[in-house]
C-alpha cells in the first residue's frame, strides 16, 4: 500500500493529536516535500514526538524514512499528466463535468471562508495601502491572479509593478527598484518557482514586507511571508481550482479601495472621465 493510502487508512482509527495530524496530511500530503519534524508539528499544532509516533504507527522506522517515501510518491503524482489522469479518474463516467467541477469549487470556497483569518486579511489590506509601491509576482497559473490584482490596484492609483518578465537579468532589474517602504505580494502554490523565491529573498534583504497568497502553511511563500492569506485549491494530486484564489484576490483589492473610499472613488471618476474622452 502506498504511503498516502496508508495515511487515509490509518487516520480513521487514531485519536487526539495523531488524528489531527493525519487529517492535515490527507489534505496536504505535499507538506512533506518541504517540512521537517519541527515545521510539520508547528503547522498542525502538535508535538514533535506526535509526528514521530505517527510515522512509526504506519510501519516506518522514523520520520525521515516516512518523509522519503511520501516524497517519492508525491513527485510522481505532481507530474502534470498524472494530475490530469487523477482528475479524470475522480470524474469517472459523469457526463455533467461542468456541474461536478462547479460544486467542487463551491466546497473549496466554503473551506477558504471557514479557514480565513480576519485579522490577517486586515493586516494585508493595511500593508498594501500604506506601501509606497506594490510589487506583485505570480508565475505559471498564478500569473492570472497577479494580473487581476495589478489591474484592480492600478485603477485606484496605487503604484504597482507587475513582475512577469523574468528571463535573463529582467527579474533582478525589476527587483532592484524595491525599497523598505514597498511591499512584495507573492502568489503561488506547491513547487514555488525559483524566480518567486528569488523575489522573496530580495524583499527580505531590503526589509520590504512580504504578503503571501498560497494554499498551505508548508508553502515556501507562507514560510517567508510577514502576512499570509490562504486559498483552498483541493488536493495537489489533481488539477487544482483557482476559483477561491480569484475570490480572495478580488476581495483583497476591493478592501484596499474601501479603506480610503473617497480617494478610490475620485481615482475611478478620473478614469471614467479619461475613458469618456477617448470614446471607449
pLDDT mean for each 10 residues of the chain (280 residues): 67 79 73 73 84 85 82 65 69 79 90 91 96 96 96 95 92 96 94 92 97 88 94 72 94 95 93 83
Structure confidence at residue 74 (pLDDT): 66
CATH for 26: 1.10.10.10
Q: Do 134 and 35 belong to one domain?
A: no
Q: Do 66 and 115 belong to one domain?
A: no
Q: Do 253 and 114 belong to one domain?
A: yes
97 domain residue, yes or no? no
The grid coordinates of residue 98 equal 461542468
24 domain residue, yes or no? yes
Structure confidence at residue 167 (pLDDT): 87
100 domain residue, yes or no? no
Structure confidence at residue 58 (pLDDT): 81
Contact by Cβ (8 Å): 112, 118: no
Report the predicted TM-score, pTM, of the whole model to 2 decimal places.
Answer: 0.77
Q: Do 202 and 264 belong to one domain?
A: yes
Contact by Cβ (8 Å): 111, 231: no
CATH for 149: 3.40.50.10490
With both helix axes pointing from N to C terminus, report the angle between 3-11 and 63-77 in degrees, rounded to the nearest 10: 110
90 domain residue, yes or no? no
The grid coordinates of residue 73 equal 510518491
Q: Do 177 and 220 belong to one domain?
A: yes
Q: Do 131 and 249 belong to one domain?
A: yes
Structure confidence at residue 41 (pLDDT): 83
Comparing CA positions, the residue from 27, 34, 37, 38 lying closest to residue 4 is 27
Q: Do 15 and 142 belong to one domain?
A: no
For residue 158, the number of C-alpha atoms closer than 13 Å in the C-beta half-sphere is 31
Looking up cell 537579468 gives: 169
Q: How far is CA 10 from CA 27, 53, 109, 155, in A?
A: 14, 13, 28, 51
Structure confidence at residue 18 (pLDDT): 84
Q: Please give the DSSP secondary-structure letter assigned to residue 62.
A: S
Range(s) of the domain holding residue 24: 3-77
Q: Do 180 and 237 belong to one domain?
A: yes
**Which of 77, 93, 117 delimits the end of a domain?**
77
89 domain residue, yes or no? no
Q: Do 124 and 61 belong to one domain?
A: no
Structure confidence at residue 164 (pLDDT): 92
Amino acid at each position: 500500500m502506498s504511503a498516502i493510502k496508508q495515511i487515509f487508512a490509518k487516520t480513521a482509527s487514531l485519536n487526539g493529536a495523531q488524528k489531527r495530524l493525519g487529517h492535515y496530511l490527507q489534505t496536504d500530503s505535499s507538506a512533506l516535500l518541504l517540512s521537517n519534524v519541527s515545521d510539520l508539528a508547528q503547522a498542525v499544532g502538535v508535538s514533535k514526538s506526535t509526528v514521530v509516533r505517527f510515522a512509526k504507527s504506519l510501519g516506518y522506522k522514523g520520520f525521515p524514512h516516512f518523509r522519503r517515501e511520501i516524497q517519492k510518491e508525491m513527485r510522481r503524482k505532481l507530474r502534470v499528466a498524472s494530475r490530469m489522469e487523477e482528475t479524470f479518474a475522480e470524474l469517472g463516467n459523469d457526463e455533467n463535468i461542468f456541474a461536478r467541477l462547479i460544486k467542487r469549487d463551491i466546497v473549496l470556497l466554503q473551506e477558504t471562508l471557514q479557514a480565513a483569518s480576519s485579522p490577517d486579511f486586515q493586516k494585508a489590506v493595511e500593508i498594501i495601502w500604506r506601501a509606497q509601491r506594490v510589487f506583485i509576482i505570480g508565475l505559471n497559473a498564478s500569473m492570472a491572479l497577479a494580473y487581476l490584482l495589478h489591474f484592480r490596484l492600478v485603477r485606484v492609483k496605487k503604484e504597482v509593478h507587475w513582475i512577469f518578465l523574468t528571463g535573463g537579468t529582467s527579474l533582478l532589474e525589476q527587483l532592484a527598484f524595491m525599497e523598505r517602504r514597498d511591499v512584495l505580494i507573492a502568489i503561488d502554490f506547491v513547487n514555488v518557482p525559483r524566480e518567486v523565491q528569488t523575489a522573496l529573498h530580495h524583499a527580505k534583504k531590503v526589509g520590504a514586507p512580504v504578503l503571501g497568497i498560497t494554499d498551505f502553511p508548508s508553502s515556501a511563500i507562507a514560510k517567508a511571508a510577514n502576512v499570509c492569506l490562504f486559498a483552498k485549491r483541493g488536493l495537489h494530486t489533481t488539477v487544482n481550482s483557482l476559483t477561491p484564489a480569484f475570490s480572495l484576490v478580488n476581495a483583497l483589492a476591493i478592501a484596499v479601495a474601501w479603506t480610503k473610499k473617497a480617494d478610490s472613488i475620485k481615482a475611478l471618476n478620473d478614469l471614467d472621465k479619461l475613458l469618456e474622452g477617448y470614446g471607449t
